[in-house]
Amino acid sequence: MVDHRCGTRLGAEIARAAPEGGDSVVAAARDPRKLPDDLRRHDRVLGVRLDVTRGAEITAAVEAALRRFGTIDVLVNTAGRGLLGAREEITDTEARSLFDLNVFGLINVTRAVLPVMRAAGAGKIAHIGSRSGCEGEPGASMYCASKFGVAGIGEALAAELAPFGIQSMVVGPGVFRTDFLDGSSLSTAERRIPAYDGTPAHATLDWIGTADHAQLGDPVKGAALIHEAVRRTGCPGAWPWAATRQSANWPRCAAFRTTSRPGGRGPRPRPATTPPDRPGATRRYV
């Protein structure tokens, strides 16, 4: 199950990569009618309505997945948006709205899927975090905080769910050519304080106009790597990749727990080279 924002580039490409590998997909979007035509018409793809901030829609999406495919092998939590502005400029309402989607939406979808995976004694969850969940950046404090939350949840789940045969992975991408920087995925603080002009916080805001849809990362290749990772027998606990720069905080991000040795720590994961578990099996993604 690929949850929420499948109409945007990275979610859509993940939803495309799975059936190309022989898997089935539940592509969840706030308006499934707006899913790309190739996904809506694919016989291995089920489009469902899902706003992850609405509990009833989460329940209905999981039930639809089970009616169609019988189980859920993989959950990809892609729901999220950005919020930029100096910390002083961002209101409580703006910050809470961001966390309702980026953090509590992920929490609630994961909670709804876990009973299915526990009953099966297996499952994989990929949480789409961000490089901003590894280092704080000016002008993006609230977005960074939400993605630090995603990273912490994903890391804790790796150890918490290991006894049930369920694996948890956090993916920390850098900038990709998606809709993330346009109005459909990104908002800025309604209030702008002139004192921050010419400072790093507003330099981030100025960067949006030049970077939108011109980012270096290729979402098709990124989606293929995510699909490859979840097909591994033991997917990495955290996968920081496509960073545009290194930082002193990067080793902390790269040292998250792996799921192959619960409670242990492993080296920085690399793209998968090992064959998937259950060769030839068809997985059900939601």
Active site residues: 143, 147
Whole-number Å distance between alpha carbons of 255 and 136: 17
Q: End-to-end distance of the chain based on CA atoms, in angstroms?
A: 1
Whole-number Å distance between alpha carbons of 279 and 23: 12
Amino acid 110 reads T
CA distances from 127 to 104, 195, 270, 274 (A): 13, 37, 17, 21
Strand 238-240 with 284-285, pairing: unpaired
Asked whether 130 and 215 are in contact (CB, 8 A), the reply is no
The radius of gyration computed from the CA coordinates of the chain, to the nearest angstrom, equals 18
Whole-number Å distance between alpha carbons of 270 and 215: 22
Closest CA to 24 of 5, 42, 3, 51: 42
